[in-house]
Amino acid sequence: MCGIVGYVGNNKAQDFLISGLKRLEYRGYDSAGIVTLDKKGKATLLREKGKVSGLESKVSQNARDDQIGIGHTRWATHGEPSERNAHPHQAGDIYLVHNGIIENYKELKDQIKDHQFQSDTDSEVLAALINSFYQGGKHPLSNAVVQALKLVRGTYGIAVISVKNPGEIVVARSGSPLVIGVCQDETLIASDASALVGHTKKAIYLNDGEVATIAKDSISIKTLDSQPVSNKVETIQTDLSAIQKGGYDHFLLKEVMEQPQSLTETLRGRINVKDCTVHLGGPNLSDSELRKIKHIIIVGCGTAYYAGMTAAYYIEKFTPEITIEPVIASEYRYRNAYIPKDSVALIVSQSGETADTLACLREIKKQGIKTIGIVNSIGSTIAREVDGGTYIHVGPEISVASTKAYTSQSIAMIMFGLTIAQAKGVKSNTLAPYIKEIAALPQEIEGLLQSIPDTVKNIAKKYAKKYDHAIYLGRDTAYPTALEGALKLKEISYTDANAYPTGELKHGPIALVDDNAFEFFLLPENDLYDKSLSGLEEVLARGGHAIVVTDKSDFNHPVEQIITVQTGLKLLTPLLLNVVSQLFAYNFAVAKGLPVDQPRNLAKSVTVE
């Protein structure tokens, strides 16, 4: 949510700032801006409403050789998307870019008398506050930043420069990520390591409560209490191909299509089909600790939450005497929920930075409950704060809508459930079918992706022209799949889509069946197949427009469309059906001519509350 970049070195700052902002644009794309300083401190501030491409044109007409600068791509919180509200914000001698939210900005604003506010943002208040402590350069910029931050309530990742000292950038974080790229004769900063890929492999991740003063050949990090810290230089694992479209029209399609490989990475070294066992090292729990677990809380938002629901349905099928509660982080953080001592909490997040999920993690830790991360982004805040964890290793997910992460998060959590079941002595003949299907899933997805995309595309194109509402339906393990399918459709095609358990239809949602809506039935051939069929019949009897996605090869009901999935799976079929939902939503949005990778109003990695 919002992206920050910064550069100090011997090259043209504008070049890195623009290329970095393009990489970070998936984090926010309402407006963008950069400011650079020449050697005497003369500033060139360029800002533009809309995408980074607009700013790029402005920059090409105002090219500068300046060797220091900071930039920002915005996801609006305070104030509409506009040039005026775009970052960097100026106050006196300083310029600031900010991710996060300053909660007490109104009260701080009332105390600032010597600044004419130009924007509606909370960020400009922070800029003015820093400037008031800076006093025209009487104090070091880092001291002014620290003094200001001590008065602030809220979250921030900031980068600040001063016209009085055009050789340094001060950065600080609390709740919003910041990473420093270490290079020869230049130093880079970004809110996300993907902006650094291709420039350096060496990175320092700032922790909450740390402030760094950066020059082209030095990095000095202190806590807000002025204690020096020496953070580890870590290696950025991502390579360039992982953050490029690789010939696809959209990142979303690329990410759907790469699921056989990304899931293989999730499984690597963790599953032994010969012995039918699962080994997850990361959670760091002994067999005796695993045996004691009686409750699992699964915390996440959006797709990560649905992955948690999916895993919960599965884990309770094969693990005895266990209660599993998937919870939505933004709700859970303010509940007064009692967590029994024999619990473990799975903290699920692709980005590892989601503010609501992070807040739950901290709260749960305070209660002495062991936390296990199911995270994708290596080195992210959640990954660093959990007690143990399993990286899903799917590589960068650039499309705002999450796809490959869902599949791998679900499977990683099911595998965690299997490790508990193993430790509790559940018989191999109960667990083996799940383990075999998990091992087979990458190939099954591969087969599906080779056979089905054209069929799905044709149906999606047709339906995109006809309908404004969608009703997704599924039962049992296919219910979270239905929820996830509806989320995908609404976020990238702006089509009203809701999901219900098929058995709930008659308790209300069936009233929605009319000619403006279609019904997307996820119908795996499982124990509840016949019961799900009754729901379908009830919809058809009321003139519904049903699309059925099923693995039943002889499915023969008078529905508008049948998408048949050929598979050897029995238990994990819903995860295959979900790939069909992903392709359907993608083609539906493309048919409407929408910006699939960057849907309106959304941003990847929601680091504000």
Residues involved in catalysis: 2, 604
Q: How far is the CB of 489 from ligand M6R (least distance, A)?
A: 11
Binds ligand M6R (CB under 6 A): choice among 77, 191, 354, 578:
354
Residues in 431-490 at the binding interface with ligand M6R, rule: CB under 6 A: 487
User: How many positions of this chain bind ligand M6R (CB under 6 A)?
Assistant: 17
Binds ligand M6R (CB under 6 A): choice among 372, 400, 565, 577:
400
Stretch that binds ligand M6R, among 28-36, 274-282, 315-323, 400-408 (CB under 6 A): 400-408
Q: How far is the CB of 474 from ligand M6R (least distance, A)?
A: 18
Nearest CB to ligand M6R, comparing residues 196 and 400: 400
Chain position carrying tokens 């219900």:
500
At position 203, the amino acid (one-letter code) is: A
Stretch that binds ligand M6R, among 123-131, 336-344, 350-358, 574-582 (CB under 6 A): 350-358
Cis peptide leading into residue 599 (ω within 30°): no
Nearest CB to ligand M6R, comparing residues 31 and 357: 357
Nearest CB to ligand M6R, comparing residues 85 and 403: 403
Which candidate, 150, 169, 146, places its Cα nearest to that of 95?
169
180-205 burial: b if 16+ Cβ within 10 Å, else e: bbbeeebbbbbbbbbbbbebbbebbb
Q: How far apart are CA 288 and CA 424, in angstroms?
A: 9
Question: Strand 31-37 and strand 517-523: pairing?
Answer: unpaired
Binds ligand M6R (CB under 6 A): choice among 302, 379, 474, 524:
302
Phi, psi for 202 (deg, rounded to 5): -100, 125
Neighbours of 362 (CB within 10 A): 12
Nearest CB to ligand M6R, comparing residues 91 and 329: 329
| Tokens describing residue 502 | 């098929």
Neighbours of 265 (CB within 10 A): 17
H-type alpha helices, 199-320: 251-257, 259-267, 287-292, 302-318
Q: How far is the CB of 589 from ligand M6R (least distance, A)?
A: 12
Q: How far apart are CA 572 and CA 438, in angstroms?
A: 8
**Residue nearest ligand M6R, CB atom distance:** 302
If binding is defined by CB under 6 A, does position 402 make contact with ligand M6R?
yes
Q: How far apart are CA 236 and CA 395, in angstroms?
A: 12
Stretch that binds ligand M6R, among 113-121, 184-192, 302-310, 313-321 (CB under 6 A): 302-310
If binding is defined by CB under 6 A, does position 301 make contact with ligand M6R?
yes
Q: How far is the CB of 230 from ligand M6R (least distance, A)?
A: 29
Q: How far is the CB of 354 from ligand M6R (least distance, A)?
A: 3
Nearest CB to ligand M6R, comparing residues 297 and 606: 606
Stretch that binds ligand M6R, among 139-147, 301-309, 448-456, 531-539 (CB under 6 A): 301-309
If binding is defined by CB under 6 A, does position 350 make contact with ligand M6R?
yes
| Tokens describing residue 342 | 């024999």
CA 239-68-71 angle, 5° bins: 65
The phi-psi region of residue 141 (left if phi > 0; otherwise alpha if psi is between -120 and 50; otherwise beta) is alpha
Binds ligand M6R (CB under 6 A): choice among 357, 371, 498, 587:
357
Chain position carrying tokens 């791509």:
73
Q: How far is the CB of 460 from ligand M6R (least distance, A)?
A: 17
Nearest CB to ligand M6R, comparing residues 7 and 406: 406
Residues in 36-55 at the binding interface with ligand M6R, rule: CB under 6 A: none
Q: How far apart are CA 47 and CA 119, in angstroms?
A: 13
Nearest CB to ligand M6R, comparing residues 69 and 308: 308
494-506 burial: b if 16+ Cβ within 10 Å, else e: ebbbbbbbbbebe
Neighbours of 528 (CB within 10 A): 19
Residue 522 CB partners (closer than 8 Å, separation 6+): 472, 473, 474, 478, 481, 482, 485, 549, 574, 577, 578, 581
48, 297, 298 from 173: Cα distances, Å: 25, 29, 27
160-175 burial: b if 16+ Cβ within 10 Å, else e: bbbbebbbbbbbbbbb
Phi, psi for 525 (deg, rounded to 5): -80, 85
Nearest CB to ligand M6R, comparing residues 27 and 87: 27
Question: Per-residue string for binding with ligand M6R, 481-500, x by CB under 6 A?
Answer: ------x---x---------
Nearest CB to ligand M6R, comparing residues 400 and 596: 400
Q: How far is the CB of 126 from ligand M6R (least distance, A)?
A: 25
Q: How far apart are CA 609 and CA 128, in angstroms?
A: 23
Binds ligand M6R (CB under 6 A): choice among 43, 328, 590, 606:
606
Binds ligand M6R (CB under 6 A): choice among 351, 381, 408, 495:
351
How would you class 529 by CB atoms within 10 Å of its CB: exposed for 0-12, middle for 13-18, buried for 19 or more? middle
Binds ligand M6R (CB under 6 A): choice among 213, 259, 349, 407:
349
Q: How far apart are CA 548 and CA 564, in angstroms?
A: 8
Chain position carrying tokens 């104090």:
139
How would you class 543 by CB atoms within 10 Å of its CB: exposed for 0-12, middle for 13-18, buried for 19 or more? exposed
Q: How far is the CB of 304 from ligand M6R (least distance, A)?
A: 4
Q: How far apart are CA 523 and CA 485, in angstroms?
A: 13
Stretch that binds ligand M6R, among 93-101, 346-354, 455-463, 545-553 (CB under 6 A): 346-354
Q: How far apart are CA 549 and CA 576, in angstroms?
A: 10
Binds ligand M6R (CB under 6 A): choice among 70, 76, 304, 563:
304
Residues in 146-165 at the binding interface with ligand M6R, rule: CB under 6 A: none
Nearest CB to ligand M6R, comparing residues 8 and 400: 400
If binding is defined by CB under 6 A, does position 401 make contact with ligand M6R?
yes
Q: How far is the CB of 603 from ligand M6R (least distance, A)?
A: 8
If binding is defined by CB under 6 A, does position 408 make contact with ligand M6R?
no
Nearest CB to ligand M6R, comparing residues 481 and 532: 481
Q: How far is the CB of 381 from ligand M6R (least distance, A)?
A: 11
Q: How far is the CB of 28 from ligand M6R (least distance, A)?
A: 13
If binding is defined by CB under 6 A, does position 605 make contact with ligand M6R?
yes
Q: How far is the CB of 348 from ligand M6R (least distance, A)?
A: 7
Nearest CB to ligand M6R, comparing residues 151 and 602: 602
Q: How far apart are CA 371 and CA 358, in angstroms?
A: 11
At position 293, the amino acid (one-letter code) is: I
Residues at the contact surface with ligand M6R, assessed by CB under 6 A:
301-304, 349-351, 354, 357, 400-402, 487, 491, 602, 605-606
